[in-house]
Amino acid sequence: MIDPRLAELLDAAPGLRLKTGPADLEHYGRDWTRRWTPAPLAVALPGTVEEVQAVGRGANRHKVAIVPSGGRTGLSGGAVAAHGELVLSLERMNRVLDFDPVDRTLTVQAGTPLEAVQEAARGHGLQYPVDFAARGSCTIGGNIATNAGGIRVIRYGNTREWVAGLKVVTGAGEVLELNRGLVKNSSGYDLRHLFIGSEGTLGIVVEATLKLTDPVPQGSVMLLALPSFEVLMQVFAEFRARLRLEAFEFFTDVALRHVLAHGGQAPFAGTYPYYVVTEFAGGDEATEAAAMAAFEHCMEQGWIVDGVISQSGAQAAQLWRLREGITESIARYTPYKNDVSVRISAMPAFLARAQALLGQAYPQYEVVWFGHIGDGNLHINVLKPADVDGAEFVAHCEQVTRLLAQALQEHGGSISAEHGIGLVKKPYLGSIRSPEEIALMRGIRRVFDPNGILNPGKLLDA
Ligand code: 2HG
Ligand code: ZN
């Protein structure tokens, strides 16, 4: 028999789709973290803003928690429903609603996959430049909820920079139109920015008006081999000084080995401990000369020991695969993930500290280092050995994360650069936010969601 709360929902919004089968509950109740057992009450799939409002009203009436759900590619447990929540999937709201050639904006429903946004922009001769490996599965609503970053932040910034307007349904069921696509709007608090990065705790993003920009002509991609961690920031400084960088990403040989185990060709005859993938716009002679000058200077200094440069789009894609394939290639080891950042200027000191700390803390585990080094963002993945119990492994890694959080605090960094706090990083929020800030965040949450129905337990406790 159908739960009376769900029957009431269907009465209020007959067009709403509900899923309650065990396979659906499992599928929609988890994200890429895989740490929690999914146990939602049901999955609601609205097709309109009014249906989202109906779900909100019903949830408020019965004090049922809602977990907003996009592509569930999150890595911090922000979209996990493990306690009888109602998952509100935006999957059916996946249409491009409008393109304005004068404003150069694209208005899309929140469930639109990032890749579809990028394609729609290209179709109009423009680009939406936020980009990362999960582009085919993640949705723009989820990108906004976490202020997603990715591989081109160094040039274009995070999702926040590209949101010109938002339509949201608050926890109280009101519809708000925030900023309405304006470039200039000095009229008090910019609530749009509160919603960006709020991890589904203030309201449900239902539509977004996104800024687009000029496409960049196909540039070149270089793969560089480095002899040590210590020279990484010198290589970055040299390339950044001479070229307009679109991306500057690093990974270790351990990461490369995992990617190659899944297919693809080794880029060099030999192996080296560290690699950088960098992309720069241009394609003209001056850019090529600048890239060669940077490369040669680094070789002379002994900061680079080998390198290749793409000669075609296909080769560029092959080189990118070596970096973009990392997360997928290690997924079967249920990695414990750290996603940390410091200011770029603090990176050399922090790198040395983190390497010493983690080397000592994890002698028995394989640790995969990679990340957006040009943004001061490191991803550290600790792989679980098959014979170690999952809970024991996580408990051990959490002890180390506490030490890492302390080191980050000393270096003025953040425990979550781009994946969000969710459930995974909640214990460490105090390492980046003061008690006063956290109290204000709680207060803001209560204003938008007075009954505490929106993604409870995520980001911060009530
Ligand atoms: C990336 O940069 C993503 O590829 C995933 O942020 C990072 O798996 C990770 O730790
Ligand atoms: Zn990343």
What is the number of the ligand 1 atom nearest to the C-alpha of 419?
6
Closest ligand 1 atom, CA of 339? 10
Nearest atom (ligand 1) to Cα of 149: 6
pLDDT score of 420: 98
Q: How far is the CA of 349 from the centre of ligand 1 (A)?
A: 22
Instruction: Give the whole-angstrom CA distance, residue 265 versus residue 268.
Output: 9
Whole-number Å distance, alpha carbon 419 to ligand 2 midpoint, is: 8
Task: Mark out the alpha helices in 325-461 (DSSP H runs).
Answer: 326-330, 347-361, 390-410, 435-448
Contact 73, 132 (CB under 8 A): no
CA 330 to ligand 1: nearest atom: 8
Provide the residue ranges of all domains of the chain, joining segments of one domain with +: 4-92, 96-211, 220-327, 334-418+428-437
Say what the pLDDT of residue 282 is: 81
Q: What mean pLDDT, rounded, does the chain reach? A: 96
List the structure tokens of 446: 């209560």
| Backbone CA torsion sign across 449, 452, 453, 457 | positive
pLDDT in tens, 369-396: 999 999 999 999 999 999 999 999 999 9
Q: Is 58 left (phi over 0), alpha (psi -120 to 50) or beta?
A: alpha
φ, ψ (nearest 5 deg) of residue 296: -65, -40
- 4-92 folds as 3.30.43
- Dist CA 209 CA 204 (whole Å): 15
Q: What is the CATH number of domain 96-211?
A: 3.30.465.10
Query: By alpha-carbon position, which residue is closest to atom 6 of ligand 1?
Result: 150
Q: What class has domain 334-418+428-437?
A: alpha beta
Give the closest ligand to the alpha carbon of residue 33: 1
Domain 220-327 and domain 334-418+428-437, same fold? Reply is: yes
What is the average pLDDT across 250-276? 96
Structure tokens, 376: 């001061």
- Ligand 1 pocket, Cβ-based, cut-off 6 angstroms: 75, 132-133, 327, 337, 339, 379, 381
| pTM, full prediction | 0.97
Count other C-beta atoms under 10 Å from residue 310's C-beta: 19
How far does the centroid of ligand 1 lie from the alpha carbon of residue 3, in Å? 39
| Per-residue model confidence as pLDDT tens digits over 136-146 | 999 999 999 99
| Confidence bin at 176 (pLDDT 50/70/90) | very high
Please give the single-letter amino acid code of residue 188. G
User: 47-62 pLDDT, tens per residue?
Assistant: 999 999 999 999 999 9
For residue 107, which of 84, 79, 82, 140 has the smallest C-alpha distance?
140
Q: What CATH fold (topology level) applies to the domain 220-327?
A: Alpha-Beta Plaits (3.30.70)
CA distance 224 to 245: 14
Instruction: Report how far ligand 2's centroid is from the alpha carbon of 151 (Å).
Output: 7
Q: Which of 154, 277, 333, 379 should be mutated for ligand 1, with most atoms under 8 A from CB? A: 379
Q: How far is the CA of 132 from the centre of ligand 1 (A)?
A: 9
List, for residues 281-332, the tens digit of each pLDDT value. Answer: 887 899 999 999 999 999 999 999 999 999 999 999 999 999 999 999 999 9
What's the pLDDT band for 422 if we cut at 50, 70, 90?
very high
How many residues in total does the chain contain? 462
Number of Cβ within 10 Å of residue 445's Cβ equals 21
